């Protein structure tokens, strides 16, 4: 367990940061717009979000030896999406 302690600490810290970002986004106008949009098309959106999360996990796993680069590319894609013209994608 001691071997994994630094990794678990890092993951925990990253989860805290992600939770704070999500809280900021979800309580702002972006979250409200997204919730309204999701409410209108919930049954179509949830399977897509589930598939997207599974795809990201598989991509990172498949490229484990170069995982940090893959995560970097996913981060760039995330940045591109959140800077898009769609208001529900912005914080």
Kindly report the backbone phi and psi dihedral angles of residue 86, in degrees, each rounded to the nearest multiple of 5, phi listed first. -80, 120
The pLDDT assigned to 74 comes to 77
Domain residue limits, the chain: 9-89
The pLDDT assigned to 12 comes to 85
Q: What does the alpha-carbon distance between residue 45 and residue 73 come to, in Å, rounded to a whole number?
A: 24
The pLDDT assigned to 67 comes to 63
pTM: 0.41
The pLDDT assigned to 5 comes to 81
Task: Find all residues with CB under 8 Å of 79, minimum gap 6, and list them.
Answer: none
């Amino acid at each position: 367990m001691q071997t994994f302690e630094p990794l678990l600490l890092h993951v925990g810290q990253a989860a805290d940061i992600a939770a704070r970002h999500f809280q900021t986004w979800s309580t702002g106008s972006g979250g409200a717009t997204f919730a309204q949009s999701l409410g209108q098309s919930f049954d179509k959106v949830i399977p897509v979000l589930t598939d997207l999360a599974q795809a990201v996990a598989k991509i990172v796993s498949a490229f484990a030896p170069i995982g940090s680069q893959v995560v970097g590319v996913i981060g760039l894609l995330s940045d591109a999406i959140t800077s898009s013209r769609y208001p529900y994608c912005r914080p």
